[in-house]
């Protein structure tokens, strides 16, 4: 799953935020085979996006049982 942009995170629905939180790869995983400098840049960028997802998810009240069931445990 490709990391969303900050703009996408800022307008995302509660359900979309939960889906990203559950299914996005760890920050930097997409850059494992890149030079160290590029890996560091990508990892830091993805960490910031992940932090923003968590901030917005907290505002919505986190996961609900209904959303958890709706998105499941298998990435679409």
For the stretch 21-72, pLDDT in tens is 999 999 999 899 999 999 999 999 999 999 999 999 999 999 999 999 999 9
pTM listed for this prediction:
0.90
Residues 13 and 19: their CA atoms lie apart, in Å, by 10
Collect all residues with Cβ–Cβ distance below 8 Å to 63 and sequence separation of at least 6: 18, 21, 57
DSSP state of 27: T
Which of 38, 32, 70 is CA-nearest to residue 17? 70
Q: Where are the domains of the chain?
A: 6-71
39 is written with which tokens?
Answer: 């890996």
């Amino acid at each position: 799953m490709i990391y969303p942009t900050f703009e996408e995170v800022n307008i995302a629905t509660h359900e979309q935020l939960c889906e990203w939180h559950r299914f996005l790869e760890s920050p930097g995983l997409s850059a494992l085979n890149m030079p160290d400098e590029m890996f560091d840049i990508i990892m830091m960028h993805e960490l910031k996006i992940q932090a923003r997802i968590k901030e917005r998810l907290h505002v919505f009240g986190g996961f609900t049982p209904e959303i958890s069931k709706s998105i499941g445990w298998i990435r679409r």
